[in-house]
Amino acid sequence: MNNAEYAHKRKRAKVVLEDGRAFCGFSFGAAGTAFGEVVFNTSLAGYQEILTDPSYKGQIVTMTYPLIGNYGVNNEDIESRKPFLEGFIVKECSRIASNWRSNNTLGAYLKEHNIVGIEGVDTRAITRHTRRQGAMRAVISTEDLNDKSLLKKVKASPGLVGVDLVQKVSCDKIWQYNRDGKIKIVVIDCGVKLNILRSLAERGCQVTVVPAQTCADEILKLNPDGIMLSNGPGDPAAVTYVIETVKKLLGKLPMFGICLGQQMLCLALGGKTYKLKFGHHGGNQPAKDLKTGKIDITVQNHGFCVDIETLNKDEIEITHVNLNDNTLEGIRHKKLPVFSVQFHPESCPGPHDSHYLFDQFIEMINGHR
């Protein structure tokens, strides 16, 4: 099919934000209508890992890099069992997938998993608008192209505040990722990325993954040496059952929290969370280690954050801050073997500056043992 034929056959689609701003484009994924909070991701590559990050449940992702899909998709670069995001917005989706590992195009992959995608959109305008106005509800549709009708629908759609999305992405039974190793780690699955599990296994850990609703007693019966609180989507304050579990586990075992895991840990320690204006999404977020002065370029994906002022400074040490907005990026308990970070040290996709945190977790466990 030549370019003229392709342009003629493209199906029109539309994005409408809850403040009435509308953007026209063309469908390149599944047909249909999808609702979610629109956010932007500043990564230049790694779109398959972004698509399969469960932390994006409830969100429509806009990629700021203009050309997406040029290396296709493969069976290796996935971070969960399927894509969990609600929709995908790009400037241009490549029709050609050129990579020796590629076994499908991005458009076909979205259709296979029933994810609505739209291209030909001014993604720079969406990004600038959400930076000014904040993340907001949105709709993508290939079926209804009427602005007034779509605006009415999006205003009736749910937001993210107060909504528990963890139950929609967590596993439904206990399973073993890695059976070999001298250190037993239990991962509380709130939407865990596979590279967190790989990173633990590479360091000689037995890795057992448990559903988010697993109680503290059941976890302790597994006789772990340490607990990992995983990343995940949505409002941490709504995931009350995990917060209660963490409260009961504090002081009993070493604990490492990542992203949503940090937020729930801090809530269990008496802190409070709030919603960021447009969140941190992408692979170029600078986080400063306050002890060493070292700055890591980090991968991040979160729309909520812990309020530093609500933490008990007699018990909790602030270890990392975000250099863009001075928000909290890491803590360590002064008495208990517990620490956490707001960014993603497993780095899929993104820079590898923060891999050392997994080594610190292992050292903490060995010291505790």
230-282 pLDDT, tens digit each: 999 999 999 999 999 999 999 999 999 999 999 999 999 999 999 999 999 99
- CB of 253 closer than 8 Å to CB of 226: yes
The mean pLDDT of 356-368, rounded to a whole number, is 95
Tell me what pLDDT residue 351 has. 85
- Joined tokens for residue 130: 């959400």
The predicted-structure confidence for 159-181, as pLDDT tens digits, reads as follows 999 999 999 999 999 999 999 99
- Choose the weakest-confidence range: 209-223, 306-320, 342-356: 342-356
Q: Is 215 exposed, middle or buried (0-12, 13-18, 19+ CB in 10 A)?
A: middle
Report the pLDDT value the prediction gives residue 3, as an integer from 0 to 100: 53
Residue 7 pLDDT class (50, 70, 90 cuts): low
Write down the catalytic residue from 37, 79, 329, 346.
346
CA–CA–CA angle 251, 257, 259 (5° rounding): 150
At 4 the pLDDT is 47
pLDDT for 124 equals 97
DSSP bridge partners of 226? 185
Marked catalytic residue, from 190, 259, 266, 348: 259
Over the stretch 96-113, which tens digit does the pLDDT of each residue have? 999 999 999 999 999 999
Active site residue 259: yes
Mean pLDDT of the chain, nearest integer? 95
Average pLDDT in the 202-218 region? 97
d(CA 213, CA 210): 8
Of 131, 135, 221, residue with least CA distance to 174: 221
pLDDT (tens digit, 9 = 90+) per residue, 139-154?
999 999 999 999 999 9
In this prediction, residue 1 carries a pLDDT of 54
Determine contact, residues 207/177, Cβ cutoff 8 Å. yes
Q: Which domains does the chain have, with CATH numbers?
A: 9-155 (3.50.30.20), 166-368 (3.40.50.880)
pLDDT at residue 368 tops 80:
yes
24-50 pLDDT per residue, tens: 999 999 999 999 999 999 999 999 999
344 is catalytic: yes
The answer to whether 76 is a known catalytic residue is no
Give the separation between CA 142 and CA 30, rounded to whole angstroms.
9
* Axis-axis angle for helices 260-268, 240-249 (nearest 10): 70
Q: Of the residues 18, 79, 344, 348, which is catalytic?
A: 344
Q: Cβ atoms within 10 A of the Cβ of 9, count?
A: 9
Q: What percent of the chain has pLDDT over 90?
A: 94
